Chains A and B, each alone.
Chain A
């Protein structure tokens, strides 16, 4: 018997009503999570007491702000099994992934000197992605390929919606980068990372992990996983919007040229040229989102206090209930693994003959919030032969009552459009 959590009370937004007084059933955590009072309070307290620009100025509150900013970095690093200097603040996972791809691009253009030559791409090289990717971990690599003349290749997806690990031969001696997701935001499948990393290492390719969904819903230890780079977003893991992080192995961040340039990331600037600071500052140009990093600190503290193992067990249970409920609705087709093993409680499905927009609308009318559309992952939808889907995704605060309301709502949908 799973030890179910009862945390909805910590999340102020969850107590509101929608559509003329209906209690909110929030099943769109895969898009963005709700935030506990602890996170909201931490941001507010920072702004009320310690707000200042970091790493500048000699006054007391600037010192306090800098301390809060760096202590958030330290907490987030510990949360994902990384060292302090391996975490770079970004605005979200998308920016983190672009930071890496543009680092490679700039190295390919000769920036970063001899140290950065290891990241150079040229015609004849290959970049490997997967058919399962969110556009955030696909489009930047398409762009990098187009700009450097490297060739883009991809690992296909099994009929169940998992990476096809039988097809790792796509990774060859020509491969320089392998970018892949840790957990799909459509099929919910959790990737077995080890074989991909092993294969990439054996050919000397760098690995880039999209940990956007995984970091929020299961224990993640990036050192254990052995990837070179990883990206995640605060807003998916109970933290604020506007903050995310890039993880990079220290040695690699030392050598990678910057993406965004300007203030706060430089040493000596003359009219002709500029020298850059060491990482992580080299990658943090401009005034930073300090209050948001403080909120993200509170979020990882909250998650750690709950315990990621317990959280995962709770969500796993909700995922199982969702899958069982879905299986009872006539005609509905699941896009993803049918068992809750090695998958997140991210459940995308197709109701034949009813467009996802219409499914979502009827659910919304009952106060149930789900995601409809392609969820920024058109290729995997195409792989399943559909244009779009409806997705229910659970979080730490999801209750069995939420799942029951959703399943009842879905029966309603089928009846309405019959």
Chain B
């Protein structure tokens, strides 16, 4: 159990960062997990090629809430490309059945590496990725909206 519920996850699920709403976001996405009805909304606004602001709201289990909270801490204010790259690497980790990725990638993930164990539980994969799916969609919308150039990196389901 402790392998799945790392202290970082438990902490972030209780003291969450980035919850709120933006006044006029460039992109927003609402996602639900149909198996349990959990939901989240992620809003973003851009400044050039930078993810200037992110806010999220939602309800869900500790895994989904901690994932959203850490996502906020790691991508808010960062260059778009970096945020999207992080999302792709995180997706790769969660789909890796509980195994770590290369040391370089694990380093890139920082605290998100605490989610490695989630990949062993197929029923929890969606929980970990719900917020990131919302982020991906919100960013695509915002790029479209603001005409920010550049392509999001190749995505996997």
Nearest neighbor of B62 in chain A, beta-carbon distance: A358
Task: Give bound CA distance, A365 to B3, whole Å.
Answer: 11
Contact assessment for A416 and B36 in the assembled complex, using a CB-CB cutoff below 8 Å: no
The CA of A139 and the CA of B38, in the complex, are separated in Å by: 20
- Interface flags, A349-390, vs B, CB<8A=1, else 0: 000001111100110010000001110001001000001100
Give every chain B residue within 8 A of A354 (Cβ-Cβ).
Answer: 62
A387 to B35, CA, bound (A): 12
Considering only residues 1-26 of chain B, those with a C-beta below 8 Å from chain A are 1, 4-5, 10
Cβ-based interface call for B79 (8 A): no
**Are A361 and B38 interface neighbours, CB within 8 A?**
no
Total interface residues on B, using CB and 8 Å? Answer: 17
**B60 with A355: CB separation less than 8 A:** yes
Contacts of B124 in A (CB 8 A): 357, 361
Residues in chain A near residue B35, CB distance under 8 A:
373
Question: Would you call A357 and B5 a contact (CB within 8 A)?
Answer: no
Of residues 34 through 76 on chain B, the ones whose CB sits less than 8 Å from some CB of chain A are: 35-38, 59-63, 65
Assess whether A373 is in contact with B36, with CB atoms less than 8 Å apart: yes
- What total count of A-B pairs have CB within 8 Å? 44
Complex interface: chain B residues within 8 A of A355 (CB) = 38, 60-62, 65
Shortest B91–chain A CB gap in Å is 20
A357 and B127 contact, Cβ closer than 8 Å, known pairs A373-B36, A387-B37, A388-B36: yes
Q: How far is the CA of A358 from the CA of B64 in the complex (A)?
A: 11
| B52 shortest CB reach to chain A, Å | 31
Find out whether the CB atom of B36 lies under 8 angstroms from the CB atom of A374: yes
- Could you say which residues of chain A place their CB within 8 Å of the CB of B59? 387
**Shortest beta-carbon distance, A168 to chain B, in Å?**
30
**Does the CB pair B1–A388 fall under 8 Å?**
no
Residues on A with C-beta less than 8 A from B37 are 373-374, 378, 381, 387-388
Question: How many Å from the CB of B5 to the closest CB on chain A?
Answer: 7
The residue in chain B whose Cβ has the minimal distance to the Cβ of A357 is: B61
Docked-complex contact A358 and B61, CB < 8 angstroms: yes
On whether A361 and B36 interact (CB within 8 A), knowing A355-B60, A355-B62, the answer reads: no
A354 to B1, CA, bound (A): 15
**Are B1's CB and A416's CB within 8 A?**
yes
Bound-complex Cα distance A388 to B10 (A): 20
Tell me how far the C-beta of A372 lies from the nearest C-beta in chain B, rounded to whole angstroms.
6
**Residues in B lying within 8 Å of A, measured CB to CB:** 1, 4-5, 10, 35-38, 59-63, 65, 121, 124, 127
| Chain A interface residues (CB < 8 Å from chain B) | 354-358, 361-362, 365, 372-374, 378, 381, 387-388, 416-417
Q: Can you list 24 pairs linking A and B with CB atoms under 8 Å apart?
A: A354-B62, A355-B60, A355-B61, A355-B62, A355-B65, A356-B36, A356-B61, A357-B62, A357-B63, A357-B124, A358-B5, A361-B1, A361-B121, A365-B1, A373-B36, A378-B37, A381-B37, A387-B37, A387-B38, A388-B36, A388-B37, A416-B1, A416-B5, A417-B10
Name the 8 nearest CB pairs between A and B, nearest first: A357-B61, A355-B61, A373-B36, A374-B37, A365-B1, A358-B62, A358-B61, A388-B36
